[in-house]
Structure 1
């Protein structure tokens, strides 16, 4: 059964909003939603990460560790709210934060301590530091609620078969385990066993690895399922797991039968286009409620 979503009304957000833009289409979706609400968002591109289209309109640019510059921009533009949207391919190099005049030294110690904890720990430190200057950090899904996955259901024409359900269960356990360790948000299971775990390379690269393994006949079973879910300790205002058209394309190239994503804690970027692509590729997209886990066991 294909589910038709009902448009959700974004909550009213007081004050001007800045979007700190990494890669991908999420920053643009947030900006479009704000403009439809009559707001004038400020786009702040992360150097080396933001999409080229971000630079076509009025924008500012910062490096990923340039906290002092970010705060100056936010204050100068009268910003009240900050949205951290989009991916970051490159890990921060904190030696650049030591340049004179960056105004980063107060936050640097906090970041260095958090850096060893993984992405979620680092994001929490970034959010806490931004909010310590009096700004409010808002999740992208709070502005564009329609991108959140709906309640547990099958979103496509194709339904998961029994083999796929077994693969979903295996991949869900694996994704929960690596999430608890702050390693990644996704896993692939084929033939009832886990064959790939998401790390710093991201979902698309993991799926490309699965395709290569299948081509090399290291994976002999057909089918398989990608599972994406939030980490148990996930900071939901940044880096929620997401799928989009590229996820569908890479899942199809990897020979998978479908994708399962956590309900209410995963984003679907370009919902209609993504589900259409899944239907055309003959893949299912299923949503589920993940069990609460507090450790990797």
Structure 2
């Protein structure tokens, strides 16, 4: 009997890539998406697809159990401003009421624990598509200058500390000053705001939150990120090697090279 894997699908291409890899591995693909977040085209990559309102936790778990899902993964983004409009069912409301903290990581951990209570094992989506992990080193032709490395070293521990408070994954710095911190608005808006304040030559840093469960919500970058950085005249993008998802990497790095943007992927203990 074919094993069915469940995918809790947010926005972007990640859910489709995971579904395609799962199918290639001979797995049945059962996908649950959310209205206003999930690309409808994701349904084309699934054997079974259900579209719910964000917050219908009981129905989602019932859907996976109905289709004999033994493992489930979370893939794709959820718009944080839109997420404030979610409609919790009784199970989701009970879970929310039990939380002392309402940050991303706390909420995702609670959801995963609740899913696993029903005998469905939560796994990392990226393990089905390991080629999306960013390799370490300088990924572009241009490496950061000495001054840019100073800014990266300045911002790296700040980004880690910011993440430890479950605030966001992205930080913008320039000349030893913080220009922007990602909060509810998401990475692209934080990058735009940072450039408005710092002008040309800013450094963008993005990393996983310390202590975050890496089965879900890994930081991600891609072609749209690079376009945003180029448009706003950034100098460097620094990401975490092995723990950042890099979509459309070849095309994105080609664009970065065309515009002299340096992209580096650094180890956890970079200092």
Number of the residue aligned with 1:7: none
1:112 and 2:97 are equivalent in the alignment: yes
Number of the residue aligned with 2:50: 60
Choose the corresponding residue for 1:48, options 36, 40, 57. 36
Q: Is the 8 A contact 2:6 2:29 kept in 1?
A: yes
Query: Match of 2:88, SS?
Result: helix
Query: Match of 1:187, SS?
Result: strand
Query: Match of 2:179, SS?
Result: strand
The alignment yields a C-alpha RMSD, in angstroms, of: 1.9
Provide the TM-score with structure 1 as the length reference.
Answer: 0.83
The Cα of 1:133 is off from its aligned counterpart by 0.5
Offset from partner CA, 1:199-246 (integer Å, 9 cap, x none):
111111111212333xxxxx36x4121111111111101101010111
1:84 and 2:48 are equivalent in the alignment: no
Q: Output aligned runs, 1:175-190, within 5 Å.
A: 175-190=159-174
Number of the residue aligned with 1:73: 63
Number of the residue aligned with 1:269: 247
Query: Match of 2:28, SS?
Result: coil
Write the distance in 2 (CA, Å) between the matches of 1:173 and 1:119: 20
Q: Is the 8 A contact 2:3 2:28 kept in 1?
A: no
Query: Match of 1:265, SS?
Result: coil
Choose the corresponding residue for 1:250, options 223, 228, 243. 228
Aligned in 2, Cα 1:187/1:235: closer, same or farther, shift over 3 Å?
A: same
Number of the residue aligned with 2:209: 231
Q: Is the 8 A contact 1:175 1:228 kept in 2?
A: yes
Aligned in 2, Cα 1:92/1:160: closer, same or farther, shift over 3 Å?
A: same
Write the distance in 2 (CA, Å) between the matches of 1:133 and 1:199: 32
Offset from partner CA, 1:55-111 (integer Å, 9 cap, x none):
4465111122101111121111111111111111122556x334xxxxx33x53332
Number of the residue aligned with 1:205: 189
Query: Match of 1:97, SS?
Result: coil
Gaps of 5+ in 1: 1-13, 99-103, 214-218, 293-297
Aligned in 2, Cα 1:288/1:132: closer, same or farther, shift over 3 Å?
A: same
The Cα of 1:189 is off from its aligned counterpart by 0.8
Q: Is the 8 A contact 1:207 1:251 kept in 2?
A: yes
Matched residues, number: 265
Choose the corresponding residue for 1:122, options 107, 123, 131. 107
Offset from partner CA, 1:98-151 (integer Å, 9 cap, x none):
4xxxxx33x533323337341000000010001110001111111111111223
Q: Is the 8 A contact 1:244 1:270 kept in 2?
A: yes
Number of the residue aligned with 2:7: 19
